[in-house]
A and B are shown apart, each in its own frame.
Chain A
Amino acid sequence: MHYVDPHIHMVSRITDDYETLARMGCVAVSEPAFWAGFDRRTVDGFRDYFRQITEVEPKRAANYGIAHYSWLCINAKEAEDVKLAREVIAAIPEFLDAANVLGIGEIGLNKNTRNEATVFMEQVELAIRHDETILIHTPHLADKLRGTRMIIDMLSDFPSLDRGRVVIDHVEEHTIRHALDAGYWAGMTLYPVTKCSPERACDLVELYGSERLLVNSAGDWGPSRPVAVPDFIVAMRARGHAEHLIEKVVLDNPLALFSRCRRYVPPTRVADRAGAAAGNARGVAASHRA
């Protein structure tokens, strides 16, 4: 089955992982800007990183027939330094015209601090000013519920924001409803120990339906499985779920979300599906415009 991994940090994966993803049926990945395992010291450090995810990774992915998209931002962890964060925010527009950029992300909260909230709001404003889609990281473990609800509080300051162009990522059993009920997309991250498992992601599809739901691996430099989305496909099949339902979650849904970006060009291998998905997405978005 063809699929898309809408949240994976390929800068921290080896080239063999691209080959494995291709063998598994992956036609596209999207890579949000994140913390690289160390705090970068200057805005130019971020400029180099943005070049990596807008120029280098797309070429690496293309070698295996995979389309590579990216999102730009200053992540929540490095947002604690508000001065540097503002320099990065000012630099982001230099890269917004890159062909593979889908929008602003993954912005969000990490420890739910005031500085993180300030930088989050300024990046939502940046996205709105530039008419960009938004991908949002929610905190982990004990901080997730509070952080997710704080994020939804802050987004309510922007009543004209098109909720169908915003993903609230890393949802679990106790936060998924908050994201979906407010009209946002919800991303389920299949990540060992700290997040969702493939079986629990299947549970959430059974309980909440497949509308505006995404599944991703968040594969990064931590212990993670870049093939977590195929794990989900296998788990859904084992329960006897229909192929078209699985395909909607792992292929049509991410493509529908991506199509809300004005620069978006569908992955060539699934261009026919992507067109249909785009129409579908506009319908979904219109019905959830706040």
Chain B
Amino acid sequence: MPHAPTQPAFDDQRFLAIRSLLVELAASLDRTERHASVGTASLTTDPRWKLVVAAIERLARGQGRAEDLQMLFSDPYEATWRRDGGPTLAGSPGCCGR
């Protein structure tokens, strides 16, 4: 690691931050399932929900989780794109007005 931090690796503050994120995540999943059950939407066939489920499974795999999840949520890169004429995509929102 080029720049190691000098503060304690796992103190109460960090524990509470992670705990809070996990409870927030748990509540979000419960909420989504609960709301889906009263509507007509089927979560099990929704590709976005499948990604969420896959992401949660990957959290248990260990070091490199953030990059792993980013890759999971990414459209694939095709090295031949310039020959093929380029991908046609739906795009995504974000900063800089896009």
Q: Which of A's residues lie within 8 Å of B, judged by CB?
A: 9, 34-37, 75-77, 106, 110-114, 117, 137, 139-146, 149-150, 153, 170, 172-174, 189, 191, 194-195, 200, 203, 205-210, 218, 220-222, 224, 238-241, 245
Residues of chain B within 8 A of A208, CB atoms compared: 2
- Cβ of B86 and Cβ of A117 under 8 Å apart? yes
Number of residue pairs spanning A and B whose beta carbons lie under 8 angstroms apart: 126
Give Cα A137–Cα B94 distance, bound, in whole angstroms. Answer: 11
Cβ–Cβ contact B4 & A206, under 8 A: yes
Q: A110-B91, A205-B3, A220-B96 are in contact. Are A146 and B74 (CB under 8 A)?
A: yes
Output the nearest chain B residue to A221 by Cβ-Cβ distance.
B97
B1-22 contacts to A (CB < 8 Å):
1-7
List 10 contacting pairs A-B, 8 Å CB cutoff, sorted by A. Answer: A139-B91, A142-B74, A145-B75, A146-B77, A146-B89, A174-B70, A174-B71, A220-B95, A221-B97, A239-B6
Interface residue from A106, A137, A153 paired with B82 (Cβ < 8 Å): A153
Q: Which of B3, B82, B86 contacts A245 (CB 8 A)?
A: B3
In the bound assembly, the distance between CA atoms of A245 and B77 in angstroms comes to 34
Tell whether, in the assembled complex, residue A220 and residue B97 are in contact, meaning their CB atoms are under 8 Å apart. yes
Q: Kindly list 12 other residue pairs between chains A and B, CB separation below 8 angstroms, not including A172-B70, A206-B2, A222-B95.
A: A106-B96, A111-B89, A140-B93, A143-B91, A191-B95, A195-B95, A203-B66, A206-B5, A207-B1, A209-B2, A241-B5, A245-B3
